[in-house]
Amino acid sequence: MDKLLIPGAVAIAAIVMIVVNLVLGIDMGSTKGLTYLFVGMSFGLYIGIAVWSRAGSTKEFYVAGGGVHPVVNGMATAADWMSAASFISMAGIIAFAGYDGSVYLMGWTGGYVLLALCLAPYLRKFGQFTVPDFFGERYYSKAARLVAVLCLIVISFTYVAGQMRGVGVVFSRFLDVEINMGVLIGMVIVFFYAVLGGMKGVTYTQVAQFCVLIFAYMVPAIFISLLITGNPVPQLALGGNDVATGTPILQKLDNVLVDLGFNEYTSGTKAMVDVFAITLALMVGTAGLPHVIVRFFTVPKVSDARISAGWALVFIAILYTTAPAVAAFARLNLIDTVNGKDYEAATEAQSVPGWVKSWENIGLIGWLDKNGDGKVDYAAGAPFAGKPTFAEGRGNLGERIITNAPTANRNEIYVDRDIMVLANPEIANLPGWVIALVAAGGVAAALSTAAGLLLVISTSVSHDLLKKVLAPNISDKQELLFARMAAVVAICIAGYFGINPPGFVAQVVALAFGLAACSLFPAIVLGIFSKTMNKQGAIAGMLAGLAFTMSYIAYFKFMGGTADQWLFGISPEGIGSIGMVINFAVAFAVSKATAPVPEDVQALIENIRIPAGAGGATH
């Protein structure tokens, strides 16, 4: 019976989607029909896995029983880590930022070196359930635990709001359902496997989601690499030559962009100090993110935690080394297929491709014919002030009418960065099933991250707040029930943010990394590497780092601070690295002036430094 559960669920989902297609009168072979089928089957897969791996104890719910194979855990970590931002947005950002986009590539991978070398093995040896557990025990106080819970909840909710939105965007573009409906469907699916299966369910679903998302990312990337350079390996193709002219792709891109008035693709516009600070903040922030750290509590041994971080980075690197190639090709393709083309021409070769119009229809592309020649001109600078706003009705050529005030430059087209990956298969003229695959991949990326985040939120509520502080006498069964209830509440809050996104979601992503970098990471590192760091020092350091970083971000993001006022030229995205330095400095100063660490805690530190004798996770 159990053996048939997962394939059975997929088959049932496939039949359901075929029926849905028939009822709605959608052609099975069309892109939309295929998208329904693929996304539906992937949901069947996730639910099947959830039922197959449902959790029976808090240990299974919190850390999947502590028996996950390191390669499996690495794969789950990769899916957990790679969010809608990695899958949908990152290549788009790099496409438009060029070298400056490197901060994300290095920042979101380099943190795994810190994790594997400085955090994961020792936290695994520590052997409890949650990140706040470590703070509570190592800094021997409920205050430290509560500060950690607070950081964790703020960081995780910031993140999860963006994920639910990502699900909504993919649904609305590919399935023609309302964004809100898409968010609701996403909530139901996550509800199933996060609430039923806990960490165990989430781990095995994330493995499936990794396979879906990496396949969906690689297939169009390989096709496009072949098309442009004749080399199927995107990592090599980026350094390859243009099939048509024989010039190296990056050189061609540099030349084309300079001609259009942009900077060279391969050299940046950001100040070096800012690139340095952002990269550092993202690396350290990555290593301090609770939903990533907690994944290393699920493997059997200390050495497994290290090797598992290595595997996680292998799986992440597959996407992260492909992204720069996708980015460069997308930018080149965009210029080739759009710039100087008629919006509406007699022949297909002279007019802009169909995907321009379909993305225009949902408002992520906007064209304002400033010189009135009926051609789409692409150049440096914003085409008009702000994001496009559209009037009712259509212009002479069938374009949507833009009401924004035009700018003085030549550029006539607005392209939302988030569409580059989603539009890529269309840009390269790939068949409908590839587009359907990318839709399923985008949903997988968003759902896997959302589930991981919801899990650390519910765990910190049921375990750290209830069991460890408010109601220590509850049984394992009751704790499990509370964990499930907390997951339900967290899903509802996340769904609310997905449907009513606060305008500042994009801005506060910097806050999530900044917070992790300036609060959790330094305190964990000090807890392992310094035997003299006491609770007063750690708490004072975290609060000082938090206060500095949050007020800096608030001042520049919400109170109208301008770039010329930046401290040392560091933007709010990178300020977490200064917050981290402040945390370390304050922590050392305060710990020197206050009572030394008790002996039993010193013994705990000595114990976690040695791999020998790690049992299963306990509480």
Partner 1 sequence: MATITPGSTAGMAATQAVKEKTTSQTNASDYWKANVRLLLILLAVWFTVSFGFGILLVEPLNAIQIGGFKLGFWFAQQGAIYVFVALIFVYSALIKRVERSFGVED
Interacting residues toward partner 1 by CB under 8 A: 94, 99, 101-102, 105-106, 109-110, 112-113, 116-118, 125-128, 137, 140, 235, 238-241, 248-251, 266-267, 272, 275-276, 279-280, 283, 301-303, 306-307, 309-310, 313-314, 317, 320-321, 324, 529, 600-601, 603-604, 606-607, 609-616, 618
Pairing of strands 413-415, 365-367: antiparallel
CA distance 303 to 599: 27
Question: Residue 612 Cβ, how far from partner 1 at the closest point, in Å?
Answer: 5
Report in angstroms how near the CB of residue 449 gets to partner 1 at its nearest.
20
* Residue 68 per-residue DSSP state: -
Those residues with Cβ within 8 angstroms of residue 449's Cβ, 6 or more apart along the chain or in another chain: 79, 80, 81, 82, 83, 84, 159, 160, 163, 291
Place of tokens 């597959």: 318
Alpha-helical (H) ranges within 82-141 are 84, 90-97, 102-114, 120-126, 131-138
Rounded to whole angstroms, what are the CA distances from 553 to 271, 490, 519? 19, 26, 15
Q: Which is nearer to partner 1, 51 or 222 (CB)?
A: 222
Neighbouring C-beta atoms of residue 484, cutoff 10 Å: 18
Nearest residue (CB) to partner 1, 351 versus 534: 534
Q: Return the amino acid letter for 564.
A: D
Cα separation of 80 and 64, whole Å? 15
How far apart are the C-alpha atoms of 506 and 504, rounded to whole Å? 6
Number of H helices and number of E strands within the chain? 26, 6
Closest by alpha carbon to 45, among 165, 262, 209, 231? 209
Complex with partner 1: residue 18 or 218, whichever CB lies closer: 218
Nearer to partner 1, 174 or 566 (CB): 566
In whole angstroms, the minimum distance from the beta carbon of 117 to partner 1 comes to 5
AA letter at 335: I
Location of structure tokens 């710990």: 591
Shortest distance, position 211 Cβ to partner 1, whole Å = 20
Q: Residues 305, 308, 310, CA angle at the centre, nearest 5°?
A: 115
Q: Are 12 and 47 in contact (CB under 8 A)?
A: no
Among 85, 80, 180, residue whose Cα is nearest residue 496? 180
Shortest spacing between CB 284 and partner 1, in angstroms: 12
Retrieve residue 145's tokens.
Answer: 């635990």
Closer residue to partner 1 (CB): 33 or 324: 324
Q: How far is the CB of 534 from partner 1 (least distance, A)?
A: 15
Residue 562's contacts (CB-CB under 8 Å, 6 or more residues apart) are none
Residue 62 CB, nearest approach to partner 1 (Å):
15
CB of 614 to partner 1, least distance (A): 5
Kindly tell me which of 140 and 588 has the beta carbon lying closer to partner 1: 140
Closest CA to 440 of 170, 181, 205, 177: 170
Identity of the residue, 134 or 192, whose beta carbon is nearer to partner 1 in the bound complex: 134
Residue placing its CB nearer to partner 1 in the complex, 301 or 557: 301
Q: Closest approach of Cβ 469 to partner 1, in Å?
A: 16
Which of 224/440 has CB closer to partner 1?
224
Q: How far is the CB of 610 from partner 1 (least distance, A)?
A: 5
What is the rounded radius of gyration, in angstroms, for the C-alpha atoms of the chain? 25
Which residue, 317 or 543, has its beta carbon nearer to partner 1? 317
Q: Minimum CB separation from partner 1 for residue 239, in Å?
A: 4
Complex with partner 1: residue 149 or 352, whichever CB lies closer: 149
At 396, the amino acid letter reads N
Alpha carbon dihedral 293, 294, 296, 300, in 10-degree steps, equals 160
Query: Helices marked H in 302-343 — which ranges?
Result: 302-338
- Residues 266 and 277: their CA atoms lie apart, in Å, by 20
Q: Smallest gap, in angstroms, from Cβ of residue 611 to partner 1?
A: 4
Nearer to partner 1, 105 or 146 (CB): 105
Nearer to partner 1, 186 or 268 (CB): 268
Which of 25, 615 has the CB closer to partner 1? 615
Question: Tokens standing for 598?
Answer: 């008790």
Per-residue CA distances from 40 to 35, 201, 473 (Å): 8, 19, 43
| Beta strands at 341-342 and 375-376: parallel, antiparallel or unpaired | antiparallel
User: Do residues 76 and 68 make contact, with C-beta atoms less than 8 angstroms apart?
Assistant: yes
Give me the least distance between CB of 378 and partner 1, in Å please: 23
Shortest distance in whole angstroms from residue 351 CB to partner 1? 32
- Which tokens sit at 568? 């040392």
